[in-house]
Amino acid sequence: MKQENKIPYKIYLEESEMPTAWYNMRADMKNKPAPLLNPGTLKPMTFEELRGVFCDDLIKQELDDTTAYIEIPEEIRNFYKMYRPSPLVRAYCLEEKLQTPAKIYYKFEGNNTSGSHKLNSAIAQAYYAKKQGLKGVTTETGAGQWGTALSMACAYLGLDCKVYMVKVSYEQKPFRREVMRTYGASVTPSPSETTAVGRKILAEHPGTTGSLGCAISEADRISAD
């Protein structure tokens, strides 16, 4: 197998090299991405409209097209140190299988309990929810990685966490489901009888095994029902 001696399989940064700000790419884009649209009015979502779903600091970030660097609060940076820096891995085997001159790298994020990069965002979202005085959060999960990440972040910060998990995944992945419960989250298979939208979907499609869209609808509507 070809291996350029200079480039190791894994490259790690030092803890001291970890970023202290999030990069908001939109600030540097000449053509800004299309705005989020209100599905009812088809007009760009306003701060007030987004308050039904996100907490205030996150809406400010979501709607910010001009600030390139957003400082990461110290508590989040300290949390990150539990499992970051994660290594950049050179995929030598894949390159050989593909017989490609390309140099392929991937970021290995399996070294935290959530098993993915999603913990980076989950801890920030839970942090801002807590800062705003919310007692808990509600979310959806498909395969379960996002739900695991948010459950873990909520356990760390002492927030309640409700997760709507796509029913087929809830049944097929009991271990993923139980990890969330171990972190103190309540996990409900979706569609469920606990929301009006869940009941409607069950009535119209009694045998459905659920979908991410359906679970999102339940998580979104729970506070409104």
210 binds ligand PLP (CB under 6 A): no
* Residues 162/139, Cβ–Cβ less than 8 Å: yes
CB of 95 to ligand PLP, least distance (A): 27
Extract long-range pairs of 205-211: CB within 8 Å, 24+ residues apart: 208/167, 209/166, 209/167, 209/168, 210/166, 210/167, 210/168, 210/169, 210/170, 211/166
Q: Among residues 90 and 118, whose Cβ is nearest to ligand PLP?
A: 118
87 binds ligand PLP (CB under 6 A): no
* Residues 146/139, Cβ–Cβ less than 8 Å: yes
The window from 2-10, 75-83, 139-147, 193-201 that contacts ligand PLP (CB under 6 A) reads 139-147
142 binds ligand PLP (CB under 6 A): yes
Cα separations in angstroms, 174 against 23, 104, 125, 164, 189: 36, 34, 26, 14, 11
Round to whole Å and give the CA distance between 60 and 96. 45
The window from 31-39, 62-70, 142-150, 179-187 that contacts ligand PLP (CB under 6 A) reads 142-150
218 binds ligand PLP (CB under 6 A): no
Q: How far is CA 184 from the centre of its chain?
A: 18
The window from 44-52, 58-66, 79-87, 145-153 that contacts ligand PLP (CB under 6 A) reads 145-153
146 binds ligand PLP (CB under 6 A): yes
Residue among 145, 192, 195, 217 that touches ligand PLP (CB under 6 A): 145
Binding site for ligand PLP (CB under 6 A): 140-147
